[in-house]
Amino acid sequence: SYASVVDVLTGKHPVGTTVTVRGWVRTRRDSKAGISFINLHDGSCFDALQAVVANTLSNYSSEVQKLTTGCAVAITGEVAASQGQGQSFELQASDLQVYGWVEDPDTYPMAPKRHSMEYLREYAHLRPRTNITGAVMRVRNCLAQAVHRFFHEHGYLWVSTPIITASDCEGAGEMFRVSTLDLMNLPHKDDGSIDFSQDFFGKEAYLTVSGQLNAETYACALSKVYTFGPTFRAENSNTSRHLSEFWMVEPEVAFADLDQVAGLAEAMLKYVFKAVMEERADDLAFFNQRIDNTVLERLQKMVSSDFVHMDYTDAIDILQNCGEQFEYPVSWGVDLQSEHERYLAEKHVGGPVILKNYPRDIKAFYMRQNDDGKTVAAMDVLAPGIGEIIGGSAREERLDVLDKRLDEMQLPKAEYQWYRDLRRYGTVPHAGFGLGFERLVAYVTGVQNIRDVIPFPRTPKNASY
Ligand code: 4AD
Ligand code: MG
């Protein structure tokens, strides 16, 4: 029967049973005694499975000894207790079939050595074969499953919000336009070039920057919902924490205030951190050893301590009086830069911090105004090493206050009619947040650049396959 590497290594197939494992060769080592040791990986866990192949196999010299890194094979053999260090089981091969050879092994881009992340990015189609990308993707998957499980267990409905929309949730004007293009009959401009200015069947349409506004409509009927999908930002930011296309987790909760969703954010993060520590200990050990030796300690600390809450106003005070030289000066009213966020999380608190009550003028139109007339009930969760991973707020549920804000920001009321309706028909206080999923994966793995925690990163400089 076919078996995965993880099943063999964790003893699902008792010693003495014969199984066939399919995968890719990581390394081959030949001993003088006419035995080859092949390490086989199939993505099911961090470790590769060692297969011991003796020269009694009929294709030993014709094929086995020609195997190189990357070859695809099926190895049949008996499960045996391993003599080797660190592994409990291995395979005593009785048959080896080659699915695919690696042509020109000398130039195979994924040779089994340490490659730089920049180099691997050039090979987005081959990097899943490396230890590191495999580990990142298993952790990413584990986190995504845990997010869904957390919300499911807490009574939230997963609502799929649209990718194509006309509304600019964040009001930052950073949207990608969607056009209808008839490829058989491309419209041309006078100079003969293709006219890409056509819109979505005669209307304006863009790729969503956030599912929040749509999620609000469902929260104001189904009480507790979340959306988890791709979002798009046309900001020309070439940093290690910005992508043009990223995934966002956005819960929206009726009858909740800011502190309740701050509590929800903390509970959700702790839940997914616990899940990844339990389910992906193998990959985390690798990250801790290879990428960042504080990964395990950091996660442990996150789940076992309470998040610190701090007011924006107090944070400004701290930043102004800490004696640190920042590239961007701080004063009340400015938007915090990543250097400030990291100072607060890393140096001041030494852990995650929830910053609350930001100046109204640097925040989106939908945030609920506080009684001081200057601030809104907004929060950001700042994490050491990365800065903002979550942004959220209470939503303005009072129609008159919302309308005043729309006017002040010169946003067209007519286009927000549907959003205003929520405030006209049985309005309720509600709140929610958005977690940048790639920032979470980067935080958990210690991987420095967000481009390395999503399979095919889209940035201003890269949108090819
Ligand atoms: O702070 P943001 O812009 O908030 C919103 O979009 C709200 N509508 C969310 C809500 O309340 N439902 O984005 C939320 C999070 C950020 O904290 C950050 O982690 C991530 O999304 N994010 C990005 N991640 C990668 N690349 C980018 N360009 C990002 N922009 C935001
Ligand atoms: Mg934000």
Instruction: Give the model's pLDDT for residue 432.
Output: 98
Find the range with the poorest average confidence among 9-18, 108-117, 200-209: 200-209
Residue 426: what pLDDT?
98
Choose which residue among 210, 362, 462 to substitute to test ligand 1 binding: the one with the highest number of ligand atoms within 8 A of its C-beta: 210
Which ligand is closest to the CA of 248, given by its number?
Answer: 1
Residue with CA closest to ligand 1 atom 30: 242
Of 114-118, 179-183, 248-252, 297-301, the poorest mean pLDDT is in: 179-183
Query: What b/e readout covers 328-356, taking b as 16+ CB neighbours within 10 angstroms?
Result: eebeeeeebeeebbbbbbbebbebbbbbb
3 state DSSP class of 87: coil
Average pLDDT rounded to a whole number, residues 430-458: 97
Q: How far is the CA of 380 from the centre of ligand 2 (A)?
A: 7
Residue 407 reports pLDDT greater than 90: yes
Confidence at residue 165, expressed as pLDDT on a 0 to 100 scale: 95
The confidence band for 163, taking pLDDT boundaries of 50, 70 and 90, is very high
Give the whole-angstrom CA distance, residue 332 versus residue 313. 7
The answer to whether residues 339 and 327 touch, using CB atoms and an 8 Å cutoff, is: yes
Q: What is the pLDDT of residue 397?
A: 98
Q: Residue 83: pLDDT band by 50, 70, 90 thresholds? A: confident
Distance 389 CA to ligand 2 centre (A): 8
- In this prediction, residue 235 carries a pLDDT of 93
Which pLDDT does position 368 carry in this prediction? 98
Rounded to the nearest angstrom, the distance between the alpha carbon of 212 and the centre of ligand 2 is 13
Give the model's confidence band at 198: pLDDT under 50 very low, under 70 low, under 90 confident, else very high.
low
CA–CA distance, 413 with 387 (Å, rounded to integer) = 34
**Which residue, judged by its Cα, is nearest atom 4 of ligand 1?**
391
Q: What is the mean pLDDT of residues 311-324?
A: 96
Residue type, 185: N
Q: Is the pTM of this model over 0.90?
A: yes
Q: What percent of the chain has pLDDT over 90?
A: 88
Q: What is the pLDDT of residue 279?
A: 98
Q: Which residues line ligand 1 (CB under 6 A)?
A: 169-170, 210, 212, 233, 242-243, 246, 248, 250, 388-392, 432-434, 436, 438-439
| Order of strands, sheet of 308-311, starting from the edge strand that comes earlier in the sequence | 157-158, 224-232, 245-254, 430-436, 387-395, 375-383, 353-359, 308-311
**What does the angle CA 277 – CA 280 – CA 286 come to, to the nearest 5 degrees?**
100
Print the SS3 string covering 20-70: EEEEEEEEEEEECCCEEEEEEECCCCCCCEEEEEECCCCCCCCCHHHCCCC
Ligand 1 test: best mutation among 227, 248, 358, most atoms within 8 Å of CB?
248
**Residues, the chain, total?**
465
* Helices 131-153, 437-445: crossing angle, 10 deg rounding: 120
**Bridge-partner residues for 228, per DSSP?**
249
Pairing of strands 35-41, 49-54: antiparallel
Closest ligand to residue 209's CA: 1
Cα 67 to ligand 1 centre (Å)? 46
Instruction: Inform me whether the pLDDT recorded for 331 exceeds 70.
Output: yes
> Which pLDDT band, with edges at 50, 70 and 90, does 194 fall under?
confident
Mean per-residue pLDDT over the chain, rounded: 95
Structure tokens at 247: 């995934």
CA dist 166 and 418 (Å) reads 12
Shortest CA distance to 368 belongs to which of 274, 257, 236? 257
Ligand 2 centre distance from Cα of residue 116 (Å): 30
pLDDT digits (tens, 9 = 90+) for 34-63: 999 999 999 999 999 999 999 999 999 999
Is the model's pLDDT at 126 over the cut of 90?
yes
Confidence label for 398 from pLDDT (cuts 50, 70 and 90) = very high
Report yes or no: 210 and 163 within 8 Å, Cβ to Cβ: no
Are the CB atoms for 132 and 118 separated by under 8 Å? no
Query: For 14-23, 143-152, 172-181, 327-336, which range has the lowest pLDDT when averaged over its residues?
Result: 172-181
Give yes or no for residue 308 having a pLDDT over 70: yes
Beta strand extents in 324-458 (DSSP E only): 353-359, 375-383, 387-395, 430-436
Above 70 in pLDDT, residue 305?
Answer: yes
State the Cα–Cα distance between residues 46 and 107, nearest whole angstrom. 25
Cα–Cα distance for residue pair 91/102, rounded to 1 Å: 23
For residue 295, the Cα-to-chain-centroid distance in whole angstroms is 16
How far is 143 from 445, CA to CA, in rounded Å?
11
- The model's confidence at residue 420, banded by pLDDT at 50, 70 and 90, is very high
